[in-house]
Amino acid sequence: MNKLMQGKRGLVMGVANDHSIAWSIAKALADQGAELAFTYQGEAFGRRIKPLAESVGANLVLPCDVEDISSVDGVFDRLKEEWGSIDFLVHAIAFSDKSELKGKYANTTRENFSRTMVISCFSFTEVAKRAAELMTNGGSMLTLTYGGSTQVQPNYNVMGVAKAALEASVRYLAFDYGEKGIRINALSAGPVRTLAGAGIADARIMFNYQRDNSPLKTTVTSEQLGGSGLYLLSDLSGGVTGEVHFVDAGYNIMSMPRIESLKT
Ligand code: NAD
């Protein structure tokens, strides 16, 4: 039987190590026969990513810092040269100054607001534009978001504002590229212990709270994130675009903690 992603090629941006959500998705794609290219931010990450990429048979592993648009162009020029076209894109990139991922959102500086928005939100629009040019046969793009976009989560602060803008971008991009048969979606993940996740103050308290109060009373696994990512990037989700798809053990539907946890 043919594998789900057999004959499809795509780019995965945002693997820092084997805990990264992008890596969970990459593994699921590779298991289903996809051919992958990866980007990394800086040589230190590059050294970690190259063996991971090799383990899934990928040999296109390219440097890319989304703050430097020439490095983004370099990636897509190289993909065009090597492959001519692509079928999917994973964008799992976010950054904000750690010192502002605690305390009050009201204290966000102009400098960090702009940097957070460019790296965590606008980079998806810039990358999507270049990826769409290579999606000559239609395609699917996926970015990563978090429920702090629509509900206040203490310490998530400016990242919540960036994720709200990212989710709005997903809807506008879905409309812009829909006629080319290109679908754009966001996967809203429950908390996962990653480098980026650890940058948020009191991440462990939030992680445990969501685990204890989600309907499934657990946190999400890398296999679950990989499976949902695979679904959104494959033809199985052919009729789905512009969506924010929660993969959070159901936490987003709750309006309050479990009653028993409030009885002391
Ligand atoms: P991670 O630290 O493994 O990945 C973040 C990636 O962003 C890294 O690979 C890093 O190199 C990249 N990045 C940051 N600045 C960059 C730049 N200027 N240019 C290029 N790349 C840059 O952490 P993760 O948790 O896997 O994060 C991936 C995505 O998932 C992020 O968008 C994050 O907001 C989102 N997310 C994470 C969680 C969580 O709990 N960890 C939950 C929901 C959504």
Q: What is the CATH number of the domain that holds 248?
A: 3.40.50.720
35: nearest Cα among 88, 75, 78: 88
Checking ipTM against 0.95, whether it exceeds it is yes
Residue 240 falls within a domain, yes or no?
A: yes
101: Cα within 13 Å, side-chain hemisphere: 19
Residue 88 falls within a domain, yes or no?
A: yes
User: Amino acid identity, residue 108?
Assistant: T
What is the extent of the structural domain holding 192? 9-262
The C-alpha atoms of residue 228 and residue 206 are separated, in whole angstroms, by 23
Whether residue 141 has its Cβ less than 6 Å from ligand 1: no
Whether residue 195 has its Cβ less than 6 Å from ligand 1: yes
The angle subtended at Cα 165 by Cα 244 and Cα 150, nearest 5°, is 60
Tens digits of per-residue pLDDT, 119-171? 999 999 999 999 999 999 999 999 999 999 999 999 999 999 999 999 999 99
The residue assigned the tokens 């997903």 is 170
Domain tally for the chain? 1
- Whether the pLDDT of residue 264 is over 80: the answer is no
Packing angle, helices 123-134 and 69-83, rounded to 10 = 20
Whether residue 64 has its Cβ less than 6 Å from ligand 1: yes
| Cα 258 to Cα 132, 146, 246, 251, distances in angstroms | 44, 21, 20, 11
Tens digits of per-residue pLDDT, 3-41? 999 999 999 999 999 999 999 999 999 999 999 999 999
40: annotated active-site residue? no
The C-alpha atoms of residue 96 and residue 87 are separated, in whole angstroms, by 30
Mutate which of 40, 95, 117 for ligand 1 pocket (most atoms within 8 A of beta carbon) = 95
Nearest atom, ligand 1, residue 22 CA: 26
| Mean pLDDT confidence for 214-235 | 98
Whether residue 187 has its Cβ less than 6 Å from ligand 1: no
Note the Cα 84 to chain centre separation in Å.
24
C-alpha 20 to ligand 1 mean position (Å): 7
Instruction: Indicate which residue of 156, 177, 231, 251 is catalytic.
Output: 156
pLDDT score, position 83: 98
Residue 128 falls within a domain, yes or no?
A: yes
The C-alpha atoms of residue 244 and residue 61 are separated, in whole angstroms, by 28
Instruction: Please report the beta strands in 33-146, taking only residues with DSSP state E, as ranges in sequence order.
Output: 35-40, 60-63, 88-91, 139-145
Residue 1 falls within a domain, yes or no?
A: no
| Mean pLDDT confidence for 177-205 | 96
Residue 204 falls within a domain, yes or no?
A: yes
Burial of 110 (0-12, 13-18, 19+ CB in 10 A): exposed
Residue 146 falls within a domain, yes or no?
A: yes
Packing angle, helices 21-31 and 222-233, rounded to 10 = 60
Residue 2 falls within a domain, yes or no?
A: no
- Which residue puts its alpha carbon closest to atom 28 of ligand 1? 92
C-alpha 21 to ligand 1 mean position (Å): 8
Q: Are 237 and 140 in contact (CB under 8 A)?
A: yes
CA dihedral sign, ordered 79, 83, 84, 88:
negative
Residue 4 falls within a domain, yes or no?
A: no
Instruction: Indicate which residue of 146, 177, 231, 251 is catalytic.
Output: 146
C-alpha 92 to ligand 1 mean position (Å): 5
53: nearest Cα among 96, 5, 6, 16: 16
- Whether the pLDDT of residue 2 is over 90: the answer is no
C-alpha 13 to ligand 1 mean position (Å): 9
Packing angle, helices 157-178 and 123-134, rounded to 10 = 30
- Whether the pLDDT of residue 1 is over 90: the answer is no
Nearest atom, ligand 1, residue 17 CA: 3
Element (DSSP H or E) covering residue 11:
strand 9-13
Nearest atom, ligand 1, residue 147 CA: 43
Cα dihedral 119→123→124→130 (10° resolution): -160
C-alpha 196 to ligand 1 mean position (Å): 5
